[in-house]
Chains A and B, each alone.
Chain A
Amino acid sequence: MKRKLSPVTTAVILILVLGAVLYAYTRGLLGGKQPGGAKMGGGGAMPSPPPPPMGLPTVRVSTFAGYVRPGFADGKGWEAKFNGPAGIAAAPDGSLYVSDSRNHRLRRIAPDGTVTTVAGSGPTDCLPGGFADGPADQARLFNPAGLAVAGDGTVYFADSGNHRIRKLKDGVVTTVAGCATPQDDVGCEQGGYRDGPATTAQFRFPAAVALEASGAILVADLGNGRLRRISGATVSTVPNTPALREPTALAPGPGAALQVADPGAGTLSEMGAAGLAIHPRSGLVPKSPTGLCPLGAGDSVVVDAEWHAIYALNGATCVLLAGVLPPAPECGFRDGTGDVARFSGPCAAASIGNTLYVTDFGNNCIRAVVVPPDWATPLPPPHPRDRGFRHRREGDRSAD
């Protein structure tokens, strides 16, 4: 004897069955167990590879000045334009000095984000620079690179295309060390290598400067693969630095040591009284350490131009603050948390408190990276359900 089900009962049974299937599907119960132990969701057919190392979600990245499109303009925040910002240093008054390399200018960024040009003249936009000392608005620079600001506000900078170390003080640019070197057929100086009096010493593509407590200036002489010291009016080569290939950044490290970044050799070294030593590091190792700056007491920040990432160093431990590493290193322009932010060839950094200011060379802007005080504390692993939300495109302005 057949019994007829009422339409309401049929509908209720169908809804319950569909609900159970949907629940099982969303919980991943329909997927088979994979050899690696990972469960497949109902919609997936392939095991997903492990996610690449990403920056910290507690780090905040924003654009401080400039905005992707290269150019030359003063203004506040995004109104300002840079063309290949290469070096950055913090001044005692809280402002930042930036070497705008393809524009052959030094720029100052006030704490409120207003950008002004403080030195340099002549052509911009990748055209060749020139050399002239004098009043800052008439001085000529050629691809200025690393900078350092002294306590009295004097800005020392490596004028890499002119193969000289120069300074900006009281609105006047003067040469600290270096002299004219032979020119090629288009008038570009080739640089050289000579120690001795500062007026006759020669450098080759100096990339960075750092000030020592004694008042001496240390120079990363990239083209010669050496560290040089300007003490008084004499230039000498720092001994025991044989491992350097292309030093590009100098920064104070723990204790009295000086850290040296060398993207050519892919190393971070520390220079103490005994000379240069490369310390082994655990965990992540930057591919191409290009920029350095201190972060708090004894810690430091490394900028990796090849993997477009920002790291923090705590002793021998290296933590990725922002960016994404291989197998999928990404270059781009995106603000947001450290795991979603993207850079394009970041190359130098300066810190004021717990905020880093990074020159984003490929994006022609300065990015601000706010690092939480507990950055060294390992985060708990993310819940699987939260993983999808980590890839949201927060602050995405890549569509310029």
Chain B
Amino acid sequence: MTRRAIIVALIVLIGLMIGAYVRGGYPYPVHRPSATILALYSDTRGVFWLEGAVAAPDAPPAGGNLFVLDRGRGKARCVFAQGGLIAAAGAGGPIVALQRTGDTGAVLSIERGGQVVTLAQGLSQPAGLATYQGQAFWTETRPAVAPHARHLPATQARTILRAVPLTGQSAPRALACFGGSDGGFTGELLGGQGDRLYLVDAFGQAYPPGWSALRAVPVSGGLPETLEVGRGKQTGLLTGDALYWTGVSEDAGDPGMARCVRRVQLPGNSPVTLTDWLPTIGRLCCVGNRVYYGAPDGVWPVPTRQAPPQLAARVRAGSGQAVGFGGAVYEAARIAGQGVVMRQPVTLWARLRAGLRLR
């Protein structure tokens, strides 16, 4: 009798778990902002984002306020409400953010409690931000000397990569410089591995679709190295010792209609293409050891070996800004005309928790 009861209980439990797993496979909103989500980030403590008004085309970014949704907290909170933030980065401690006013700006260190320390100021067209080995890295762009002589790179805008310790105890230093664009740096700082900082540098944007270069810069300064050059504006992700980046499709007849994802094991192995035919708008993110491509139509897992892409979860009207945290992919989306931060559980445990409403 007891044995039969145990078997029935196990069957019911397994059924409940299957039900919870299926139920937890759908995205659900975790925050409904009062303004537009400008950018979404994550670190080891939670997810954070910038909320504000979208800048007009060809105008400097307007920036926004910083909101944080830490692990174990059901509700997001605003930790910086003075506005003007255009980029943020974190590694579990204070969040480092770039504040921009017109063409100048500052690097701020914002504690999750709300205290603010200025690490650097008086910056020229700052953009891009990453933290690594106790330092904050960002770019500044100097405007072109001769705007009409686009074929003379020396006269065009110049982007400078800078670093400052997170303690704020020494002045910023310049690490490297590249050819830039008049609107400022539009690439991405991916973070560091070993003694190098990796970045995606967009160049030649004056002649669409332009190019992206994957570069490695010695953290202590020195000669940068170009790892790959690809067409259009691309995105990348550094996770552990693997570097992932997107490129135009290698398979599509019109390469501009789809993207592929490539990976290289650092340092210095030859890159391999993992998948192709992904949507052209999207961002790579990492959940645990798995890499995902968050696109406006959903979340695509990136296979570990070459394989066709398969949609893991459909997110309606996503923005293509995805970050991974705690077994889920977070994405800024629009539902019924209103912006939301959606959480899409992707791991078994996260789906079970979501299905059982243990959010």
Contacts and interface: CB of A to CB of B under 8 A. Distances in A.
A222 B229 CA distance: 30
B345 to A, nearest CB: 39
Interface stretch (A36-44, A122-130, A229-237, A274-282): A122-130
Interface stretch (B126-134, B175-183, B238-246, B306-314): B175-183
Nearest to B153: A143
Contacts of A400: 231, 255
B146 interface: yes
B326 to A, nearest CB: 38
A84 B223 CA distance: 21
Contact of B226 (A69, A125, A363): A125
Nearest to A263: B148
Interface string A275-314: 0000000000000101000000000000001100000000
Given A101-B151, A348-B151, A361-B207, 8 more contacts: A86-B152, A126-B178, A205-B152, A207-B152, A264-B147, A288-B148, A345-B206, A345-B207
A102 B151 contact: no
Interface in B159-182: 160, 174, 176-179
A399 interface: yes
Nearest to B179: A126
Nearest to B252: A399
30 contacts: A84-B153, A86-B153, A126-B178, A126-B201, A127-B178, A127-B223, A128-B176, A128-B177, A160-B155, A205-B149, A205-B152, A207-B152, A222-B149, A222-B152, A222-B155, A223-B146, A246-B148, A290-B148, A290-B151, A305-B150, A345-B151, A345-B206, A347-B150, A359-B151, A362-B206, A362-B207, A399-B254, A399-B255, A400-B231, A400-B255
Interface string A57-69: 0000000000001
B146 A246 contact: yes
B152 A186 contact: no
Contacts of A347: 150-151
Contacts of A344: 207
A161 interface: yes
A69 B250 CA distance: 14
A160 B155 CA distance: 8
Interface string B251-265: 001110000000000
A297 B208 CA distance: 37
A152 to B, nearest CB: 27
A294 to B, nearest CB: 20
A145 interface: yes
Contact of B146 (A101, A125, A205, A331): A205
Contacts of A222: 146, 149, 152, 155
Q: How large is the interface on A (under 10, 10 to 19, 20 to 34, 35 or more residues)?
A: 35 or more
Nearest to A129: B154
A269 interface: no
A73 B188 CA distance: 27
Given A126-B179, A263-B149, A160 B254 contact: no
A86 B155 contact: no
B7 interface: no
Contact of B145 (A86, A123, A223, A363): A223
Given A361-B150, A399-B254, A223 B229 contact: no
Contacts of B254: 399
A55 interface: no
B218 interface: no
Contacts of A331: 207-208
A211 to B, nearest CB: 20
Nearest to B223: A123
Nearest to A104: B153
B303 interface: no
A101 B152 contact: yes
A345 B150 contact: yes
Contacts of B293: none
A126 B149 contact: no
A142 interface: yes
B36 to A, nearest CB: 31
B155 to A, nearest CB: 5
B231 to A, nearest CB: 6
A351 interface: no
A248 interface: yes
A185 interface: yes
A70 interface: yes
Nearest to B146: A246
B153 A102 contact: yes
A71 interface: yes
A125 B149 CA distance: 19
A188 interface: yes
Contacts of B203: 126
Nearest to B158: A188
Q: Which of B154, B204, B206, B231 has the most CB of A within 10 A?
A: B154
Interface string A366-382: 00000000000000000
A142 B154 CA distance: 8
Contact of B213 (A101, A125, A145, A246): A125
Contacts of A290: 148-149, 151
B26 interface: no
B277 interface: no
Contacts of B229: 69-71, 125
B211 interface: yes
B224 interface: yes
B204 A70 contact: yes
B98 to A, nearest CB: 19
Contacts of A125: 213, 226, 229
B213 to A, nearest CB: 6
Contacts of B213: 125-126
Contacts of B155: 160, 205, 207, 222-223
Contacts of A185: 160, 174
Contacts of B207: 331, 344-345, 361-363
Given A127-B178, A331-B208, A207 B255 contact: no
B223 to A, nearest CB: 6
Q: Which of B147, B148, B150, B152 has the most CB of A within 10 A?
A: B152
A250 to B, nearest CB: 14
Interface string A213-230: 000000000110000000
